[in-house]
Structure 1
């Protein structure tokens, strides 16, 4: 690796670690805790690459990128930030940063990005004026839009790339993960936010409602909530609506279509619950929202955010005690972020003091679990197997000490019961194995820090077999060698 790297970060430890790593790699490094000093070096013509934090004592690193591009169009900028929200990812993308990495970052990953940036300098013929990127700080990054987990960061990057594209977006995931919040962010954070947002649900999908939605969302966005729940006639109307918007005389002001679905919309197509021609019109880009159990490191930051939001809404201010935090982090959260939010609001209201205790957390989680509906195969709402959008009645979870086979049997029996006298769609064996195999691989990878050799040894399979399965199941692997 060859070149001069300019580092701006107010954390001395990060500056030291990056300086040492880049120097060992063959680079010359200038490091500072000030954006003013960084700007001075850029203006003097120093540096072949900039690595900058976002929140600095004398400004915002993303806001400096337009000025850097104006004076040095060929100087790539890598943004690193502890502000792990979708807003940060979008602002970094809009500022045309070379790369955005959340803190704590994986050092080898950052070094790889730095090598790429130094190997192919970004050249621009038309630098933009020296003006800050349009601020999104006023937009409230609601709780599911916070996340450091690799799956959430991948979601943020995808959202930033397609935010202002004309492609329809399908947002898939289990119940309670925040699909609607994310869907609304595609409108609220986009260039269409000055125009209308109309929401269509299965409860209001008549012909008049569809026409009103198109008129209200002119130039804006139409959000279709769970099209699987629409009957055949309503799905046909949605197809007609999309075709009319794409080919009509007013197509220049046609709304963008964003929709939500269960975790496996293709299985819904295979089962006949979702028309294939509607699915392909909705899934220009598919964004999958991970369940909370797949982003364990996000649970405590989300909980803190939700407690602060509850306090801002008039509830007492609360913080988590260490034991309560450990218990919360170990909870499986079948209800995902929605369950977490309910728990935090309940604790904000019922806790006896400013610090939530282990006993209070245990009581709240036990109350939540007493009447929790059983998540079905393919997701909390059985989206992968063609069951109804919501279970017709609550069902108690198997006991915490139940065998795995007991839990699986309870899930499967519930799934068969939902079909009444009819049988589930063919291919059940392969679908069940796929639903079990994916979480097994994900949990094993997480336990081994993303080390595929150790994971294969843990599972008792060949490393090549593991790699093949990860590719087939589209499971992203991220080594967890964190900087700090």
Structure 2
């Protein structure tokens, strides 16, 4: 499926130029003449990245950025800046914007930044819970002994200047933990700059992290600070550190040792006062043994290890989390409050949740969208829950599983009807990949 780029720009000719460049690269492009129109568009659809000018009528780019950060935190925001507004763009990046492009911009630079943003967006959607959540404690909810231990470690890590390594399966909330450590530390009022090691191509890694000087490579029409430099007096969060290219690991080690670096194409040594937090869903100790991760870098980043348990290891938190996601989904969709039926609660507690908190969040959100009564019932959930392997199922269990399959067929048919027969739109409504929906239709023999 093509990525969708929303362009918010009041200059009609510039919008056309941006559209032509992006369409030529294979993107779907939507246009908005100002921030208000872009905000209205995002209320109905999802963009994989937003490109916005800073100076616009009605709602300017900075106000639009604040709106997107609050309502659509997974959408990367890229600013188009004139020389006089570069300072505004840099401050916005320190507050969570993805990147900026200076006018007059080079097409190669535009496509590089947009490509990085789209890859980061895809990883953000695919990986575990993260972003700027509201409610709970820094967006986290729990009452289990395991959660109480995590919170203690977070508070201790926040009080220390050491690097932090957050480890856990996909979907366990590693970015939320990083934000909590930053938020309650002495750097809490400084910038929180994040980058995903899996989203940046190896050839662009050094320029993204350390910045570059004018003329350093094709498309470098101006000098630009990197993410590490922008994190000065704040926190630099490197997610999926295990995906950092080996060629860059030595440079990362140096900057962590003495906080000194050079921009690409530069000769001046720069320094930054940065707290370093990283995360991985891999066992980096084993990666060092296989030669895929530097052992000296491992010991440098593993100052304070934070191990996040899977959701199946903290089952007491499943229903509190489900209630939290239920209330939030109802509020976002403008739906009167729903509640979980007793049978639904039992299913949620029994299910193994291989995708952890993010899978639970998506399951509850889909159930709210598909529900037709005041209670969330098992049929509302079943489309989100994979069939588990059963050994020597009893006749009663066989009848149960056939009933679940019937409900899945009904939910898929309902979504296809609501989407006017479009399986692609139905997949989007159900929060599924179109290929997976096609597979379900084939396996379940959905007809109609």
The two structures have a TM-score, normalised by structure 2, of 0.49
The structure number with the bigger radius of gyration is 1
The two structures have a TM-score, normalised by structure 1, of 0.45
